[in-house]
C-alpha cells in the first residue's frame, strides 16, 4: 500500500481527491451556515440554472433582464448545466468548484515527482492544495475562475516540461473562462515562441496563439460584452482607469506599487513561489493578471482576499518546480524514461548537485512551506477543525424557519445572504432594487415575498442598508403583511 502511494499517478490523484473533499466540506458547510451570498453564488446559480433549462443566462439578481454575458465572458459555465439539471442546488456549483480547483494538484505533483521523487511530489501537492489563493477562492462563493485554475496548472506544467503544443492546447480554453485570461493565453504563446528555435513550426504556432489571445481579449471587451450589457459598454472600464487621462510613465509605475497594500500581494506571491520561483520564465505568466489588478482602481483587487489570486497559485508553484529543476539539486536517474512524456529538451539529467544548489532548493521549499503554515490558520481551510463551525446556532435555525415559509417557485425580494439560499428554488432579486415601474403597478408586479436579514454583515453591499430599510417601508405602504418580524429578521407577504 505504501509503495503504491509513491507512484506518481496514485500520489497525485490521491492528493487531488483529498483536497477536493476538504474544499467541498468547507464550501458546503459555509453555505449551510448561510455565509454565502447572492453576489456571487446566487448570480452564478441563476445563470447555470438558466443554461440547464436551455435558456439564456438572464440573471435577476444583477437586475431585471440582465444577460450575464454582458458582465463577464464565461460561456464555459454552460458545461455545468447537465450536472445542475441532475442535482439542482447551489451545492452542485460548490462541489464542482472544489473538484476543479483540486485538479491543479495533479499536474504539479506529477511534475515534481519527475523532478525530485515522491517526497517533492507530496510537498508540492500539499503546497498547491493549501495555497492561500485557492483556499480563499473555494470558500468565497462560486466563480468562473474555477475552470482557469486546472487549465493553468496543466498549461504551465506542460510548458515547463518541454511540451509546447500541449501547453498551448491547455491554454486556449482560457478565453472562454473570463475576458482577461486571453492576455494569459497570449503570454503562454509568447513563452512558447521565445523558447522555440527560429524558423520552426512551434515558434510560428506560439506566435499565432499569442496573437489569438490578444485578439480574443479585444473582441470580448470591445464587441461581445458591450453587445450583451444593458449599458452597451464593458462594465469595468471605470475600475481599470480607462476613462482617465493618460499620465506620464512615472505615474503608471507608481500606480503599480502604491498604496502599500499592493506590497503584501506581491510579497506573498513571491514567497508562495519560494522566491526562487521568480527566476523561472513561468513566473512571467502571472504578469497579465497582476498587471490589471495593480492598475485598477478597485481596492479589492490589490489585496490577498476574495477569489482573485486563485489563478496565480498554479503559476507560482509551477515556477517553483521549474526553478528547483533548474538548480539540479535533485538527482533523477530515470529522467530519460519519464512516464508522462518525452524527456525535456535540455538532455539527460545532470550530475548530482553541489551543496549550494541543495541549500537553495531547501530554502525555497522552506519559504513556501512557511507561507502555507502562516496562512493556513488565516484562510478558511482551518474551519474543518473548528468545532464551532459545525454547529447550528439558534439564530441560524430561526433564519431557516423563515425561509421555509417561502414556497418553491415564488417570486422573492431578499437581502444578500438570504437570496443565495433561495436562488435555486425561487425567482429571487435583491430587496434594495425597486419592482417593475410604474409605481401604480408595483403591487401587482412586485414580488410575492420579501425576506430581509438586517443583521447580515454583507447587507451594505451590493445594497446599502439605507436602501433596504427604505424599500421595507415602501413595501409596508403598499400593504405587504408582516409574516415574521423578529428583530432583524423580516418576512413580508404580498396581499
Per-residue pLDDT 10s for the chain (495 aa) are 556 667 888 999 999 999 999 999 999 999 999 999 998 899 999 999 999 999 999 999 998 889 999 999 999 999 999 999 999 999 999 999 999 999 999 999 999 999 989 999 999 999 999 999 999 999 999 999 999 999 999 999 999 999 999 999 999 999 999 999 999 999 999 999 988 778 788 999 999 999 999 999 999 999 999 999 988 888 888 777 654 544 556 666 777 778 888 899 999 999 999 999 999 999 999 999 999 999 888 888 888 888 999 999 999 999 999 999 988 877 654 444 444 444 444 444 445 557 888 888 899 999 999 999 999 998 998 888 888 888 889 999 999 999 999 999 999 999 999 999 999 999 999 988 766 544 445 556 789 999 999 888 776 667 778 888 888 888 888 889 999 988 889 999 998
Q: Round to whole Å and give the CA distance between 223 and 246.
A: 23
User: Which pLDDT score, from 0 to 100, does residue 341 have?
Assistant: 47
Q: What is the pTM of this model?
A: 0.90
Nearest to 141 by CA among 417, 393, 402: 417
Q: List the beta bridge partners of residue 482.
A: 492
Q: Round to whole Å and give the CA distance between 188 and 282.
A: 9
Q: Round to whole Å and give the CA distance between 314 and 153.
A: 5
Peptide bond before residue 462 is cis, with ω within 30 degrees of 0: yes
Residues 489, 402 contacting (CB under 8 angstroms): yes
User: Which pLDDT score, from 0 to 100, does residue 241 have?
Assistant: 63
Strands 489-493, 427-430: pairing is: unpaired
Residues 268, 136 contacting (CB under 8 angstroms): no
Instruction: List Cα–Cα distances, 25 to 18, 95, 386, in angstroms.
Output: 11, 9, 13
Q: List the beta bridge partners of residue 489.
A: 453, 486
Q: Round to whole Å and give the CA distance between 318 and 328.
A: 16
User: Which pLDDT score, from 0 to 100, does residue 463 have?
Assistant: 77
User: Which pLDDT score, from 0 to 100, does residue 334 have?
Assistant: 46
User: Which pLDDT score, from 0 to 100, does residue 333 have?
Assistant: 46
User: Which pLDDT score, from 0 to 100, does residue 246 have?
Assistant: 46
Q: Give the alpha-carbon dihedral of 305, 310, 313, 315, to 10 degrees.
A: -130
User: Which pLDDT score, from 0 to 100, does residue 257 have?
Assistant: 77
Residues 343, 177 contacting (CB under 8 angstroms): no
Residues 472, 453 contacting (CB under 8 angstroms): no
User: Residue 76 CA to chain centroid, in angstroms?
Assistant: 14
User: Residue 164 CA to chain centroid, in angstroms?
Assistant: 25
Nearest to 113 by CA among 13, 247, 194: 13
User: Which pLDDT score, from 0 to 100, does residue 347 have?
Assistant: 47
Amino acid at each position: 500500500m505504501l509503495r503504491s502511494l509513491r507512484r506518481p499517478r496514485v500520489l497525485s490523484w490521491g492528493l487531488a481527491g483529498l483536497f477536493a473533499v476538504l474544499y467541498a466540506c468547507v464550501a458546503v458547510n459555509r453555505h449551510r451556515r448561510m455565509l454565502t451570498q447572492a453576489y456571487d453564488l446566487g448570480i452564478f446559480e441563476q445563470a447555470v440554472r438558466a443554461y440547464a433549462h436551455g435558456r439564456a443566462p438572464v440573471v435577476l439578481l444583477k437586475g431585471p433582464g440582465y444577460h450575464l454575458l454582458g458582465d463577464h465572458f464565461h460561456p464555459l459555465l454552460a458545461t455545468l448545466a447537465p450536472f445542475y439539471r441532475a442535482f439542482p442546488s447551489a451545492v452542485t456549483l460548490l462541489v464542482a468548484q472544489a473538484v476543479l480547483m483540486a485538479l491543479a494538484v495533479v499536474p504539479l505533483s506529477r511534475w515534481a515527482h519527475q523532478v525530485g521523487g515522491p517526497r517533492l511530489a507530496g510537498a508540492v501537492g500539499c503546497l498547491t492544495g493549501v495555497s492561500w489563493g485557492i483556499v480563499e477562492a473555494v470558500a468565497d462563493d462560486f466563480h468562473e475562475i474555477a475552470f482557469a485554475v486546472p487549465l493553468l496548472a496543466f498549461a504551465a506544467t506542460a510548458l515547463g516540461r518541454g511540451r509546447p503544443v500541449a501547453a498551448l492546447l491547455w491554454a486556449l480554453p482560457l478565453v472562454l473562462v473570463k475576458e482577461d485570461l486571453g492576455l494569459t493565453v497570449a503570454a503562454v504563446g509568447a513563452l512558447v515562441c521565445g523558447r522555440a528555435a527560429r524558423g520552426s513550426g512551434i515558434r510560428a504556432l506560439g506566435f499565432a496563439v499569442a496573437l489569438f489571445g490578444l485578439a480574443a481579449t479585444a473582441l470580448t471587451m470591445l464587441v461581445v460584452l458591450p453587445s450583451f450589457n444593458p449599458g452597451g459598454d464593458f462594465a469595468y472600464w471605470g475600475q481599470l482607469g480607462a476613462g482617465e487621462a493618460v499620465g506620464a510613465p512615472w505615474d503608471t509605475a507608481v500606480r503599480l506599487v502604491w498604496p502599500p497594500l499592493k506590497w503584501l500581494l506581491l510579497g506573498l506571491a513571491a514567497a508562495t513561489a519560494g522566491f526562487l520561483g521568480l527566476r523561472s520564465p513561468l513566473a512571467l505568466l502571472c504578469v497579465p493578471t497582476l498587471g490589471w489588478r495593480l492598475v485598477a482602481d478597485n481596492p479589492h483587487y490589490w489585496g490577498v482576499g476574495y477569489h482573485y489570486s486563485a489563478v496565480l497559485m498554479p503559476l507560482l508553484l509551477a515556477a517553483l518546480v521549474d526553478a528547483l529543476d533548474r538548480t539540479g539539486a535533485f538527482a533523477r536517474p530515470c529522467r530519460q524514461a519519464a512516464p508522462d512524456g518525452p524527456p525535456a529538451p535540455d538532455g539527460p539529467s545532470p550530475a548530482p548537485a553541489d551543496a549550494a544548489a541543495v541549500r537553495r532548493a531547501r530554502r525555497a521549499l522552506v519559504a513556501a512551506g512557511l507561507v502555507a503554515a502562516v496562512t493556513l490558520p488565516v484562510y478558511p481551510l482551518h474551519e474543518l477543525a473548528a468545532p464551532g463551525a459545525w454547529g447550528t446556532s439558534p439564530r441560524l435555525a430561526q433564519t431557516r424557519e423563515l425561509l421555509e415559509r417561502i414556497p418553491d417557485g415564488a417570486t422573492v425580494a431578499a437581502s444578500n445572504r438570504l437570496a443565495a439560499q433561495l436562488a435555486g428554488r425561487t425567482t429571487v432579486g435583491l430587496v434594495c432594487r425597486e419592482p417593475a415601474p410604474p409605481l401604480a403597478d408595483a403591487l401587482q408586479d412586485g414580488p410575492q415575498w420579501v425576506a430581509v436579514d438586517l443583521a447580515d454583515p454583507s447587507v451594505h453591499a451590493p445594497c446599502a442598508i439605507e436602501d433596504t430599510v427604505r424599500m421595507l417601508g415602501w413595501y409596508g405602504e403598499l400593504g405587504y403583511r408582516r409574516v415574521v418580524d423578529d428583530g432583524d429578521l423580516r418576512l413580508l407577504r404580498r396581499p
